[in-house]
Amino acid sequence: MRVSTLDQHPENQLQDLQQLTKQRGWTVVQEYRDHGISGGRVRRPALDQLLADARRGHFQVVAVWACDRLARSVRHFLEVLDELNHLNIEFVSCREQLDTGGPLGRAVVIIISAIAELERNLIIERVRAGMRRAKLEGIRIGRRPAQVDRQSVLRDRARGHSLTEIAKDHRISRALVSKILKEEKLNGHKGPLQRPSEVAENTQPKSAA
């Protein structure tokens, strides 16, 4: 079983799998569930444990709720399927009602996996196309830029505060502090910023009339 986000519940998949195992008279050795993990990831805790147990010969059949619960990409799906086949372990998908007990079942599973990958790629492309359109229309994508009091940052730097101290006081990143200082220098403030005490020392008092 696998769900991509933490607010989803793998128990919905578990009910169907329990019904399948009861119908076929199987004994459940272990339940493997990846909760809040994308199927696009090759390494997943439950999947890794399942493959490790398969190599130790702990079971004879792997049942999944759907093919895309095991893997999203065709390449990864085929790698897992080939290893299970090499270990003489049958693969069964509950939703598609398919198994690898024969060559026809194996071929259909591969086709369905390819369709699932195509569907995922189409979704990604639609999202990217939407982002490109929004950018052309002048719509900002992502987080709003941080509201920073630039003059306050410059004053703190002139007082001798370090970049880390300024970043912490203004709740911004150290990189943003550095960027503000560099931009200020490019705008005409050449050389190091003087501290207030240094400005006072460099100012000569006017002579009395």
The one catalytic residue among 4, 93, 162, 173: 4
Q: 152-190: per-residue pLDDT in tens?
A: 889 888 888 898 889 888 888 888 888 888 888 887 644
> Taking a C-beta distance cutoff of 8 angstroms, is the pair 2, 37 a contact?
yes
- pLDDT tens figures, 86-122: 898 989 988 877 788 777 777 776 777 777 778 778 8
pTM listed for this prediction: 0.49
Residue 4 annotated among the catalytic residues of the structure:
yes
